[in-house]
Structure 1
Amino acid sequence: MTGTEKRNWKDYTLILPSICHCYVGQLAIDTLINTLHMKSARVLNWTCVEPVIAYDPYENTNKENFAFGIEVYEETNLKLLVIQQRGSIVSGKRQEFVDELLTFFKNEQLKEIIILTAFNAVERNDSQLTGDQFRYLSTINNSNNLGWIALEERQDKHHHKIVRDRDRYYIAGGGIANRLFYTAQQKQIPITVLLMLPMLDKKYNMLMNY
């Protein structure tokens, strides 16, 4: 489905992955789409994403449906849009990807953006070594009412907080999440990053380096 027909997605929440460390974002999106039985609503023909075509991974019986490099799924009752990105961002086109996404957000009059990503656990600071391994970063004022742990600010080598706003937070291994968050923030678009700090065991490292 190309989804070229106009749909009313005003005030929907948009959730998307950042291709990242351990593929956490994409796996979470797959789980969300499958659990909510979301349907494909539009294929995004963005030249900044490498083309991909495969059998629909959520359809076990009908092998006539296909999945594409970057695709929009919808759940109308929850007013939820989900983007699944299967193709990598073309080299040198990261900002073009961000611009395309924010244009899509504005054209469809969406409510907010939620990015799912991961933080390379090797880059954790002392306060992140134990306890809950999930963090968030948000421009939404009431987001801390949920009881989540905010992403800690970075420090320089002398353990002083970094003053420059764009450098205060950094998601190591988080893919496009950093660039997308700060660009949306500058444009006053409500955006939240949800991130996990996954630990890799030796077997996984050996597999990834094979």
Structure 2
Amino acid sequence: MFVSYDGSACPDFKGFMLLMPAVSVGNVGQLAVDLVISTLGMSKVGYFYTDCLVPMVGNNPYATTEENATELCINAEVYAVPSKQLAVLQIRSPFIKNKYRPFCQTLLSWVKSCGFAKVVLLSSSHAYQRNDQQLCGTSLRYLLSPAVEKTVGDQMQRLNRRELEQIVTFPGVNDDKTFQVPGGGITRLLFTESCSKGIPIIVLLKFCSEGDNIPDALALSDYLNEWLQLTANQESSCSLAKSSRWKIPSSWKLLFGSGLPPTLF
């Protein structure tokens, strides 16, 4: 559950939006959340203590000076910017086997107790497992729970967004359809659990492959920003101009290791 950063009482999150990633293919959701935290200069307000994630500790991923570079981070931390009524839960390690469901139950219990207005989940899915419909057009999709279908659905329509297509569960046996998110981690479970509990949730996802997923993270961040306008909009339609609004975290310098030592040559 939530543990305050300085030991004080839990901040008042009533009416806030909770943004979080799914630990999914390419870590695209986590990278996109990194961009939001870094760009908005969000303050850490606490930790999400759970035994469902692999334990980890590291240096401050958003360090800007030598002084704050020595601060420590752990596997699940909560950041906030009250002026935008936005809270972010960043997850930095994978889930322990068979711990998906307990984590979702704990998370949704916290969401209800804090009175979050809605949850936005950033995710990704294997590009190679798309069906014929999903191969056409943009690689970005969304999912809406019934609690936000009318309000947010209208906004998505105005932005010409594409909802994640449903597929036949058992071809040749029946015509029942459902949505699948291969490689999406907790995405499907968290979405269905939120729907059953009446919790407003919006899933934004991108089809991608493992590799250099920085472009995918920038695209997903832009997709989020076009809807919520978290940062200043660019007039240009150029993808490079759009992505220039994001502040790259210092930790991204080590995404692919520290490079080859000159002494090898």
Alpha-carbon distance in structure 2 between the residues aligned to 1:188 and 1:201: 36
Alpha-carbon distance in structure 2 between the residues aligned to 1:135 and 1:182: 17
Where does residue 175 of structure 1 map in the other structure? 185
Q: Deviations over 1:150-195 (max 9, x none)?
A: 01111243496425xxxx1111110001100001110000011100
Q: SS in structure 1 opposite 2:46?
A: strand
Q: SS in structure 2 opposite 1:113?
A: strand
The normalised TM-score by structure 1 is 0.88
Alpha-carbon distance in structure 1 between the residues aligned to 2:184 and 2:211: 19
Q: Return the match for 2:20 from 16, 29, 39.
A: 16
Q: What root-mean-square deviation, in Å, do the aligned CA atoms of Structure 1 and Structure 2 show?
A: 2.0
Deviation beyond 3 Å, 4+ runs, structure 1: 158-161, 199-202
Where does residue 38 of structure 1 map in the other structure? 42
Where does residue 29 of structure 2 map in the other structure? 25
The normalised TM-score by structure 2 is 0.71
Alpha-carbon distance in structure 1 between the residues aligned to 2:136 and 2:211: 17
Percent identity, aligned pairs only, is 29
Distance 1:4 1:169, change over 3 A: farther
- Contact 1:39-1:75 at 8 Å conserved across structures: yes
- Contact 2:25-2:209 at 8 Å conserved across structures: no
Could you tell me which runs of 5 or more consecutive residues in structure 2 were left unpaired when the two chains were aligned: 213-255, 257-265
Where does residue 123 of structure 1 map in the other structure? 129
Where does residue 195 of structure 1 map in the other structure? 205
Tell me how far 1:65 sits from its aligned partner.
1.2
Q: Deviations over 1:132-153 (max 9, x none)?
A: 1100011112222223110111
Q: Which moved more, 1:147-156 or 1:80-89?
A: 147-156
Alpha-carbon distance in structure 2 between the residues aligned to 1:161 and 1:201: 36
Aligned AA for 1:162? D
Number of aligned residues:
199
Q: Which moved more, 1:86-95 or 1:6-15?
A: 86-95
Q: Deviations over 1:92-147 (max 9, x none)?
A: 21111001111110121111111100011111111111211100011112222223
1:151 has 2:151 as partner: no
Could you tell me which runs of 5 or more consecutive residues in structure 1 were left unpaired when the two chains were aligned: none
